[in-house]
Structure 1
Amino acid sequence: MERWVGRVALVTGASAGIGEAITRSLVRHGMIVVACARGVDKIQAMKSELEAESASGKLHPIQCDLTQKDQIAAMFKEIKKEYKVVHVCINNAGISFGAHLVRGKPEDWQTTLDINVMALCICTQNSIKLMLDNKVNDGQIIHLNSMSGHRIVGDGFYCGTKYMVTALTEGLRNELRAMKTNIRVCGISPGVVETEFAPRKARQDPAECTFYQKNPSLKAEDVANQVIHILQQPAHVQIHDILLRPTEQVK
Structure 2
Amino acid sequence: MWVLRQEAKTHIPATTLAAEYVSSGFSGTLIPYKCDLTVEDEILSMFTWIKGQHKGVDVCINNAGLALPEPLLSGKTSGWKNMMDLNVLALSVCTREAYQSMKERKVDDGQIININSICGHRVINHPDAHFYAGSKYAVTALTEGLRQELREAKTHIRATCISPGLVKTDFAYRLYGEKTEIADAVYKRIKCLQADDIANSVVYVLSAPPHVQIGDIEITPVEDSL
In structure 2, distance between residues paired with 1:214 and 1:84: 46
Provide the residue aligned with 2:199 in structure 1: 224
Of 127, 132, 143, the residue aligned with 1:158 is 132
- How far, CA to CA, are the matches of 2:182 and 2:136 in structure 1? 27
Distance 2:169 2:22 in 1: 23
CA distance in 2, matches of 1:53, 1:245: 26
Q: Which moved more, 1:140-149 or 1:196-205?
A: 196-205
The aligned counterpart of 2:51 is 80
1:71 aligns with 2:42: yes
TM-score normalized with structure 2 length: 0.92
The DSSP-based 3-state class of the residue aligned with 2:166 is coil
Q: Which consecutive aligned stretches of 4+ in structure 1 deviate over 2 angstroms post-superposition?
A: 41-50, 204-209
Q: Which one-letter code corresponds to 1:9 in the other structure?
A: V
Gaps of 5+ in 1: 1-6, 17-36
Aligned to 2:4: 10
Deviations 1:144-191 (A, max 9, x none): 000000010121100000000000010000000001000000000000
Going from structure 1 to structure 2, the CA distance change for 1:48 and 1:145 (only over 3 Å counts) comes to closer
Report the TM-score when normalising by structure 1.
Answer: 0.83
Query: What's the offset of the Cα at 1:98?
Result: 2.0
Cα distance in 2, alignment partners of residues 39 and 126 from structure 1? 25
1:101-151 Cα offsets, whole Å, 9 max, x none, are 110000000000000000000000000000010110000000000000001
**CA contact 2:61–2:115 (8 Å) conserved in 1:** yes
Equivalent residues in 2 for 1:25-64, closer than 5 Å: 39-46=13-20, 48-49=22-23, 54=27, 57-64=28-35
Which residue of 105, 114, 117 corresponds with 1:143?
A: 114
For 1:59 and 1:93, how far apart are their aligned partners in 2? 17
Unaligned runs of 5+ in 2: none
Aligned ranges 1:142-221 → 2 under 5 Å: 142-153=113-124, 154=126, 155-204=129-178, 209-210=183-184, 211-221=186-196
Number of residue pairs matched by the alignment: 222
Decide which moves more: 203-212 or 148-157: 203-212
Offset at residue 48 of structure 1 (A): 4.8
Question: Percent identity among equivalent residues?
Answer: 44
Q: Which residue of 1 aligns with 2:76?
A: 105
Q: Distance in 2 between matches of 1:112 and 1:187?
A: 18
Deviation sequence 1:199-224 (CA, Å, 0-9, x none): 11011375883121123310010000
The Cα of 1:85 is off from its aligned counterpart by 1.1
Q: What is residue 21 of structure 1 aligned with on the other side?
A: none
